[in-house]
Amino acid sequence: MAQTRKSSSGSRKKSSKSRSSKARTTNTGNNRKAEPMDVALRNEIVLIVLFAAAIFLFLCNFGIVGVMGNTVSDVQFGIFGLTAYVMPPAIFFMIAFGMVNSGSSIAARKLVAGVVVLLLLGIVFELFTGAPEAATEYQIGEIYKRCGSTHSGGGVLAGSLAYFCYHFLGLAGTILILVVAAIISIVVLTDKSFVSGVKSGSRKVYERSAEDAAYRRERAKERRAQQEEERARREEEKRIRAEERENEKILRMDKKVSGVMIDTSLTAKEEWTRERDDIHEINLTDFEEQMEEVTGRTPEENEESALDNQSTFQFDKIRINGAYTEEYEDGYDELSEITELFASQEDKGPVYKKNVPDERVFEDYSMGSRDEYAHEPENISGQEAAKAGGKKAWEEGFAKEKPSAEMPFAAGSTGDEQCNAAKNLRMSEKKPVPKKYIFPPLSKLVKGKEKGGDSTKELKETALRLQQTLQTFGVRVTITDISQGPSVTRFELQPEQGVKVSKIVGLSDDIKLNLAATDIRIEAPIPGKAAVGIEVPNKENMMVALRDLLESKEFQGFPSKLAFAVGKDIGGKVVVADIAKMPHMLIAGATGSGKSVCINTLIMSILYKAHPDDVKLIMVDPKVVELSVYNGIPHLLIPVVTDPKKASSALQWSVAEMNDRYQKFADFNVRDLKGYNKKIETMQEKGEAGDLKKLPQIVIIVDELADLMMVCPGEVEESICRLAQLARAAGLHLIIATQRPSVDVITGLIKANMPSRVAFSVSSGVDSRTILDMNGAEKLLGKGDMLFYPQGYSKPARVQGAFVSDKEVSDVVEFLKNQTLGNIYDTDVQEKISTIGNAAGGPAGSGEGSERDQYFVEAAKFIIEKDKASIGMLQRMFKIGFNRAARIMDQLCEAGVVGEEEGTKPRKVLMSEEQFERFIEETL
Ligand SMILES: Nc1ncnc2c1ncn2[C@@H]1O[C@H](COP(=O)(O)OP(=O)(O)OP(=O)(O)O)[C@@H](O)[C@H]1O
């Protein structure tokens, strides 16, 4: 029982223990919950109290809180100095900040920084009072007293620091420390990097200054443009004013007055007319009567005398001006030509004027023959004749053949004498005068301008820019030579060792860009020179007048009659070529590049150099408008051919003529035209020549081959090829122009047989290669800029072609036409050509129209013999064009001599010799 009680009492104890422990546990739980609330409350209370204290301390500083407040304020100023004004709120703020962020190291750093900032402020204030400087020793009490009583300085703390800094580091050191400390504190406070701030600040400054510079540049550009505009406007105004002045002058010269009433009859209304009897309206009858009174002649007699006066006046005018005037009457043409010639030769200087009058003039109007002088080149100008030693011979001949009485225009005669001579000439116009060919005078052509091209300064600038451009791409060069041509200038550069030529060529576009040039051509290297040539177009082009070339000694002294004044090369030198040596020339270039002008200069060169008996021309002009102007000149063998079909016949006639000439050469045992003509000449001298005549050289000019090739390609190609292959020795020369340098026009065969080429500007390198077998013509500038590549040149030469205007051409043609040398065309040739045209075949007929080609049998035999059938073989064997050879092959196939085409394989030969013989017997 007792055990049970014990156990029951024990269990009670246990339960009471557990209860008390439970109650303890519940109590601690309540305490833990209440703790943060107490802290927050306490904090809040502390903050409120502090806030109140801060306000109190703050207000004390303004003397509004009584005596106690003032004392407190003195203490504050004694400790903090001037910072005492901000200290109460600052301390409150720092405590609050510290409480809110308790435990945060960042907050602690910031608090320290704040304190430092306040201290620094205090030091600055202390320094401003000048006390540290004045104090000889450190007295903390003094500082406190001074700051407290005067309410200035930095207080005890900052004052002490200021004193030590000043005395140990001096003013500069103190300021440096202050600045550094301030920056560090601000960086810590704000978390903003000072270095990146400086960086971004300097970037902003830089950007702003760059913007400013761009803006200033823009403004300067605008100003320049405005100035340019202003200048252009002023120049335009100046030009208009000059024009107006000029017009005014012309008006005055024409006696045209504007703004004046032309009705000058006197009316009755005007008072003064009634008063003055001597003034009255005049009419023609009155005038005639008065004239009769004064001169004593009738009106008819007066009119005659007036006409006489007029004609004298006109004559005087012509003599003085030496130029053909349009108002001059018909029948004066020749006279004016002579006067013009005379005047033009007067310009040539005293030697010419005194000693040697133009023999061509005298030739026409003299009684004797002067053949031997007329056609020699050295007799073209008196000075040249004198130089060449021909002067004496000429004078002898001149004295013998021309008594002074018959010299209407003897040199050195006075103007009146010339007038009279010209009058006499006019009167004796009806007398039969022997007509001889007179070379056209050079005065028919226009002289070129003396000056032009870029100045030396400009050239040097371009050279420098060229050098600099290359240098920027790492290519160092030395400019060794500059040669200025009429349209382009060539800069010769010598690259430094180790510079690849291909690099310079590769930079052509960059050079073009930097020089602002339209196109440049690079010759790398210049053959035969250790240099690279860069051809840059001139800013100012110089036209090369044909007259300048024809007057040059290069042309005048050129030995061949077929001299061609081509133009001026890159060094400005006159280029004259011999057509006879070319012997055939192909001219190609895009439309408008200068082909027709080139052909005109070629024809004019011949007209000025060759007598029509020595050189004949056949002109083929399917374009109709280009060469028709030459119709009527004595050099033409037949009128200008414009019909392509007829042109083909003319070419075929040329082939026949060539064969005929070869036959003649064979008969006379000579090799070429020169030999033949020499033989005929000796025979003529011996009187054995009979009907035989010297043969002229013939130049066949085709302007636009494409038009002919379109109409009858086979015949044209064949004729051209045959001529080109053989005509040289026979004195026949081909000049062929085309604007379509494609392979269907300039076939391989034509190209192979035309060794001299002239390329004008073309649109692509492919075209350039078709003409010259090389690139380059696509870089030309047009307007007569050409690559001249005659036989014998190692590379094409860049030449600015001569220019002759349509007016000059028609003037010269007019001059030649007026010579009326009889029937100028060869009727024989004309007939032959029309026969060829009508006939299906002709002398060198292609066999078109007839059943089988004339080479059919020979071709078949040849193929059977060789046991091989190919068109190329036939072409080579019979010297025929591709078309004709292909046609023969088709006929052979039809006849069963050869088999059908089998792709690229050669055709089979199907007949033996005997079989073909039998076939001929049966069919032909
Ligand atoms: N040597 C030159 N000097 C100056 N200008 C030239 C020269 N040659 C040609 N020109 C100019 O180029 C223009 C065209 O020349 P041209 O008629 O000869 O060209 P083209 O090649 O014959 O053209 P197309 O094939 O269309 O007849 C001329 O009117 C002239 O103004």
**Domain spans of the chain, in order of start:** 45-192, 198-231, 286-312, 322-424, 456-537, 546-829, 851-923
**596 carries a ligand binding annotation:** yes
Q: Which CATH class is domain 456-537?
A: alpha beta
pLDDT of 335:
41
| Residue to substitute in 548, 597, 627 for testing ligand 1 pocket (most ligand atoms within 8 angstroms of CB) | 597
Separation between Cα atoms, residue 385 and residue 45, nearest integer Å? 135
739 CB under 6 A from ligand 1?
A: yes
- Long-range contact list for 329-333, CB < 8 A, 24+ apart? 331/426, 331/429, 332/426, 333/818
| Total-model pTM | 0.49
Q: Tell me, rounded to whole angstroms, the distance of Cα 645 from its chain centroid.
A: 40
| Residue to substitute in 547, 596, 702, 786 for testing ligand 1 pocket (most ligand atoms within 8 angstroms of CB) | 596
**102 carries a ligand binding annotation:** no
| Residue to substitute in 542, 593, 628, 806 for testing ligand 1 pocket (most ligand atoms within 8 angstroms of CB) | 593
CATH of domain 546-829: 3.40.50.300
801 CB under 6 A from ligand 1?
A: yes
pLDDT of 663:
86
pLDDT of 851:
67
Nearest residue (CA) to ligand 1, atom 15 = 594
Ligand 1 centroid to residue 570 C-alpha, Å: 19
Written as six digits, the tokens of 836 are 């060829």
| Residue to substitute in 445, 783, 799 for testing ligand 1 pocket (most ligand atoms within 8 angstroms of CB) | 783
Separation between Cα atoms, residue 760 and residue 593, nearest integer Å? 6
pLDDT of 349:
37
Q: Count other Cβ atoms within 10 Å, centred on residue 778.
A: 18
803 CB under 6 A from ligand 1?
A: yes
Closest C-alpha to 814, from 610, 628, 636, 633: 633
**595 carries a ligand binding annotation:** yes
Written as six digits, the tokens of 124 are 């600055």
624 CB under 6 A from ligand 1?
A: no
Mean pLDDT over the full length of the chain? 74
622 CB under 6 A from ligand 1?
A: no
**593 carries a ligand binding annotation:** yes
Ligand 1 centroid to residue 39 C-alpha, Å: 108
Q: Which atom of ligand 1 is nearest to the CA of 593?
A: 21
pLDDT of 794:
83
448 CB under 6 A from ligand 1?
A: no
Ligand 1 centroid to residue 619 C-alpha, Å: 19
Separation between Cα atoms, residue 427 and residue 353, nearest integer Å? 26
Distances (CA, A) of 841 to 459, 583, 851: 62, 28, 11
Ligand 1 centroid to residue 784 C-alpha, Å: 6
Do you find a cis peptide bond into 790, omega within 30 degrees of 0? no
Nearest residue (CA) to ligand 1, atom 31 = 783
Q: Is the ipTM beyond the 0.85 threshold?
A: yes
Nearest residue (CA) to ligand 1, atom 16 = 594
Are 489 and 536 contacting, i.e. CB atoms less than 8 angstroms apart?
yes
Ligand 1 centroid to residue 78 C-alpha, Å: 106
543 CB under 6 A from ligand 1?
A: yes
Ligand 1 centroid to residue 594 C-alpha, Å: 3
Nearest residue (CA) to ligand 1, atom 24 = 591
642 CB under 6 A from ligand 1?
A: no
pLDDT of 804:
92
541 CB under 6 A from ligand 1?
A: no
The pLDDT tens digits of the residues spanning 416-459 come to: 444 444 444 444 444 444 457 788 888 888 888 766 666 777 88
Q: Tell me, rounded to whole angstroms, the distance of Cα 155 from its chain centroid.
A: 87
20 CB under 6 A from ligand 1?
A: no
**590 carries a ligand binding annotation:** yes
Ligand 1 centroid to residue 717 C-alpha, Å: 27
738 CB under 6 A from ligand 1?
A: no
Q: Is 782 left (phi over 0), alpha (psi -120 to 50) or beta?
A: left
Q: Which residues of the chain have pLDDT under 70?
A: 1-37, 246-435, 450-454, 820-824, 826-828, 831, 834-851, 924
**589 carries a ligand binding annotation:** yes
Amino acid at 282: I
Helical H runs in 2-86? 2-60, 66-80
Q: How many CA atoms lie within 13 A of 751 on its CB side?
A: 15
pLDDT of 631:
87
Backbone angles phi, psi at 491, to 5 degrees: -100, 125
740 CB under 6 A from ligand 1?
A: no
CB under 8 Å to 503, separation ≥6 — which residues? 473, 475
User: 104-142 burial, b if ≥16 CB within 10 A, otherwise e?
Assistant: eeebeebbebbebbbbbbbbbbbbebebbeebeeeeeee
CATH of domain 851-923: 1.10.10.10
pLDDT of 605:
93
Helical H runs in 377-507? 382-387, 390-401, 415-427, 456-472, 501-506
> End-to-end distance of the chain based on CA atoms, in angstroms?
171
The pLDDT tens digits of the residues spanning 451-481 come to: 666 677 788 888 888 888 888 888 888 888 8
706 CB under 6 A from ligand 1?
A: no
> Rounded to 5, what percent of the chain is helix, strand, coil?
60, 10, 30
596 CB under 6 A from ligand 1?
A: yes
